[in-house]
Amino acid sequence: MNATSPSYLKHHFLIAMPHMADPNFAQALIYLVEHTRDGAMGLIVNRPSRLNLADILEQLRPDEPVDPVNQHLPIYSGGPVQTDRGFVLHPADAQFQATLGLGELGVTTSQDVLFAIADGYGPKQHFIALGYAGWEPGQLETELADNAWLSCPAQPHILFDLPYEQRLAAAAASLGVDLRLLSSQVGHA
């Protein structure tokens, strides 16, 4: 018997199938930051929260005003785990105190990236989220086998250039799939 190495989906999008019943993930598009035999971690990239950058900075540095140009930048709900923890996706050429390279992109968890964005010298392309989605070892693989998700290579232009309400359909379209034409019923033949 030939042992094959598992296929991991780091730097891929997960596209929730129409029958996804979990309200945390229904109609979600997730960017996978990490996927290994130890589990997976991703950020929902199409679910804005009610917060903006000014709200966050008011807590982090209350005595400094936010540039009016940047104060209304949206903060997204990245997932149901650690919803008080922040993540910023941006092109990999920008480096901050706590930046992890993901290939074309980087993810930063330190506050200095928020200050740089607010002060106008941070990465021009960025996505800011609170919280993340996480999977235990083997959990995501089981969900994929159960057809809960489609996956495709992540495309930064979908993340940075499209309005959030268009991202899910655009990721599916990159696979030639129109989610509106898929049934919300699930079953096996």
We report the CATH number of the domain holding residue 167 as 3.40.1740.10
pLDDT of amino acid 180: 84
Which residue type occupies 87? Answer: F
Q: How far apart are CA 30 and CA 20, in angstroms?
A: 13
Per the listing, tokens 């018997």 go with 1
pLDDT at residue 179, as a whole number = 87
What total of structural domains would you count in the chain? 1
In tens, the pLDDT along 86-120 reads 999 999 998 999 999 988 999 999 999 999 998 88
Residue that has been written with the tokens 């991991």 in this structure: 8
Question: Measured in Å, how far apart are the chain's first and last C-alpha atoms?
Answer: 28
> In terms of Cα–Cα distance, which of 138, 128, 139 is closest to 43?
128
Q: Could you tell me if residue 188 is inside a domain?
A: no
The token pair that represents 147 in the structure block: 């057809």
Report, as ranges of residue numbers, the positions in the chain whose pLDDT lies below 50. 1-5, 188-189
The number of CA neighbours under 13 Å toward the Cβ of 72 is 2
Global confidence as pTM:
0.90
pLDDT at 184: 58
**Residue 159 structural domain:** 12-179
In a domain, 3, yes or no: no
